[in-house]
Structure 1
Amino acid sequence: MTSQHDPVPGSPTPPQGAEPQGTAWTTTPITADLLRGALDLEFTEHGVLPHRLPAWARAQCSDGQLAMVESQPSGVRLVFRTRATVVELDTLRTKMSYQGAPPRPDGVYDLLVDGRLAGQASVTGGNVLLVDLTTGSVESRPGPVGTVRFPGLPDRMKSVEIWLPYNEITRLVALRTDAPVEAAPEDGRRVWLHHGSSISHGSDAASPTTTWPALAASLGGVQLINLGLGGSALLDPFTARALRDTPADLVSVKIGINLVNTDVMRLRAFTPAVHGFLDTIREGHPTVPLLVVSPVLCPIHEDTPGPSAPDFSDLSEGRIRFLAAGDPAERAAGKLTLNVIRDELARIVQQRSVDDPNLYYLDGRDLYGEADFAELPLPDQLHPDAATHHRMGERFAALAFGAGRPFAGERD
């Protein structure tokens, strides 16, 4: 095969023999007009790195957990129009691995053609962050660029979306096609901006389009911007300002589990922090529907405060479980549990909704409750599995986007 694209340093060339002789390859620069779901792009020597928090917000927090999860591109996708029958994307991934545990599954790329799933693939190579959970040490092991390839696409003008893995930091090195690419115009769908914890981020969903927010967005007919930040939904003011400054037609915030499992504040601080978080969002979105979602059921923390503690007894089999390390008696001193948080969130929304008719509350147990736990228990005691993501996505779509619900209707 004759390759006519200009290679990016460190990127592989199109595979020999994969296409007929004379195939003309087009390399399209990866720019903001091809990406949805990212709030910032960092142009590095190893490719374009999408961020889900802007640079000024990242500069206000040095936490390594936040730095990792906001650069994992949950909900971020390339969107373009083309007649191409083959699409290749060179990426440099960074994935997590745990000392003493089997390798974690590779992240998945979902390809959608005209809104329908048309392919799934993963890349090889890339960097590895090897974490020793017993000491907290992290070793970085560099690796090469890999290629995700989608052949056999229909030979017609079409909309193509490549959803990036929600659980791998992904630098976009090169986009190659066998026909020219053009940016896709806005399609008029409303934009839903969502913030939450690792469950919103994706936790153990099967792929990027099957996280519960992505499923709910598809069922609700909206465009998703997912600011689910694993372990980092902590009512940080910079996150509230990022939500405030991001254009959106619908906003939701899922608050609670990270505040408990990090044991980061007491009830005295929680109440004004929630008010301040909502006040900041309302500065940029004074009248859009704003939905406050309390935690889904998590039995270990329903009435037992945090912090959460890892249980390494099954690490050699690739499983980590979590335990509640707090004492239920500490609730009297203001320590937070999920039931305490639900009660206070419901009270806050009821109080504020007198002057804010577009503010709504959803009990997270309506998405995943006791009956669901009996049928689909949380594998590690904190995070839902792939089947539960499907259930939560379908339920959120019905409870939020259904007729008469907070997100019903169309863009004005």
Structure 2
Amino acid sequence: MPDHNDWTTTPLRPELLRGAAEWERTERGLLPHRLLAWARAQNTDPQLAMAESQPSGVRVVFRTDATAVELDVLPTKRVYPGAPPRPDGVYDMVVDGDLAGQAGATGGDTITVDLATGAAEHQSGPVATVAFDGLPARTKNVEIWLPHNETTELVALRTNAPVRPVEADRARPVWLHHGSSISHGSNAASPSTIWPAVAASLGGVELVNLGFGGGALLDPFTARVMRDSRADLISVKLGINLVNADLMRLRAFGPAVHGFLDTIREGHPTTPLLVVSAIHCPIQEDTPGPLAFDLDSIATGTMRFRATGDPDERAAGKLTLTVIRDELARIVAQRSADDPNLHYLDGLELYGEKDFAELPLPDGLHPDAATHRLIGERFADIAFADGGPLQVERPHQDMR
């Protein structure tokens, strides 16, 4: 590495960040958020509060001649005693669209969570430095993708050459996506390889990811954030969280979907909008929730989930993935008669029963790294291709 006396420290500011709704200035740095402060204030769910603070799809973007980059960060790592240890978050260095390096961050704060009671204990830790060197000695666009699964405060950016912001490419459509932990990136290998990031790269679109682990629950404040966000293309992926949370019955589900879509349409009346149902998940296809940890698997050093509902409860309106897919298809068919830019995609086209036989879900719920790649490639082929539901004919149509 070059002598640090030759380095430049660049203040971290909003124009260097992509994919976040806003910053929060903390005592030690800047914390990216994917929900706005007013929306966070309406949320009472600790799981969603954690998920939205994890910067899935968020990246630090700049243009520079630097061959070495250092980013000081304060990660928050979560520990679940008795469960397999969670891997450290990964930082992806992308140069002119190609992955050029990866690094991790040790240290940081720790939150220890008791799986039985939900009690959490917070312990402060030191700031860590993520370092990359050997970058091409030319002017280039640099993106540092922040860990999709680890809350990360940004403390300082240092480079061995000056940096400047990258102006947004107005010919590159902004894709606003909302979904569950699968869209958030659970079990993906790194932040630029979660399936929405794979799809965005292949489709040539700018990703804003509102995939929240455990948080795709038709919350009205999420719909209002989407309503007020800049977007050329919009997708919402619904199903798995509503089943495994056992949040509502069929009677409430249909009107809630209509209300969610109505709110988005208030801000984006003609933007291409794709409703996507859940991928194949055998434990919840025909068995209602709630979902629970499989304690027997934890005892063997692995993590798996199980559905605890009774299939007979479907008659009383309990939701399963099969029920939700049928209802989403019905709702979209009904609405699309007056909304030609509204479309439906069966999640089984992205990952179905045959795919499960070849690429099973390791924990019974979340896809692995190879399956994230598969889902991203298929989504891009279906949604962003010529004639696809998210094809854009005029850049930045219906911009806010």
TM tier, shorter chain? Answer: over 0.9
Instruction: Determine helix, strand or coil for the equivalent of 1:383.
Output: coil
Aligned pair count reads 394
**Matching of residue 315 in structure 1 with residue 298 in structure 2:** yes
Aligned amino acid, residue 18 of structure 2: R
1:133 maps onto 2:87 in alignment: no
Residue 33 (structure 1) aligned with residue 15 (structure 2): yes
Paired residue type of 1:213? P
Counterpart-to-counterpart distance in 1, 2:392 and 2:34 = 27
Distance 1:385 1:96 in 2: 20
Q: Does 1:342 align with 2:325?
A: yes
Q: What residue identity is the alignment partner of 1:41?
A: W
Taking a change above 3 Å as real, the CA distance of residues 102 and 256 of structure 1, as seen in their structure-2 partners, is closer
Q: Which of 271, 284, 289 lines up with 2:267 in the alignment?
A: 284
State the partner residue of 1:270: 253
- Contact 2:90/2:104, CA 8 A, preserved across alignment: yes
TM-score between the two structures when normalised by the length of structure 1: 0.94
1:81 aligned onto 2:53: no
Instruction: Trace 1:8-407 onto structure 2 (pairs within 5 A).
Output: 18-20=1-3, 23-188=5-170, 189-407=172-390
SS in 2 for 1:381: coil
8 Å CA contact 1:233–1:259 kept in 2: the answer is: yes
Which deviations, in whole Å up to 9, do the C-alpha atoms of 1:13-72 show, x marking residues without a partner?
A: xxxxx424x741111111110000000110111110000000000000121101100000
CA contact (8 A) 2:232 2:392 kept: no
What's the offset of the Cα at 1:316? 4.8
Give the conservation status (yes or no) of the 8 Å contact 1:49–1:171: yes
Q: What do you get for the CA RMSD once the two structures are aligned?
A: 1.1
Identity %: 71
Per-residue deviation, residues 249-295 of structure 1 (Å, max 9, x unmatched): 00000011100000000001000000000000000110010000001
Query: Which residue in 2 is equivalent to 1:13?
Result: none
Mapped to 1, the partners of 2:280 and 2:340 lie a distance apart of: 27
Give ranges in structure 2 of 5+ residues lacking alignment.
Answer: 396-400
Provide closer, same or farther for how the CA distance between residues 370 and 102 of structure 1 changes in structure 2, counting only shifts above 3 A: closer
Question: Are 1:37 and 1:226, in contact at CA under 8 Å, matched by a contact in 2?
Answer: yes
Larger CA deviation: 248-257 vs 149-158: 149-158
User: The residue matched to 1:360 in structure 2 has which SS?
Assistant: strand
Conserved in 2, the CA contact under 8 Å of 1:257 and 1:338? yes
Q: CA deviation at 1:134?
A: 2.1
Paired AA for residue 229 in structure 1: F
CA distance in 1, matches of 2:97, 2:146: 15
Counterpart in the other structure of 1:14: none
After superposition, the Cα gap between the structure-2 partners of 1:75 and 1:267, relative to the gap in structure 1 and judged at 3 Å, is same
Deviation, 1:318, is: 4.0
In structure 1, C-alpha distance between the alignment counterparts of 2:119 and 2:211, rounded to whole Å:
25
- State the distance in 1 between where 2:72 and 2:325 align: 44
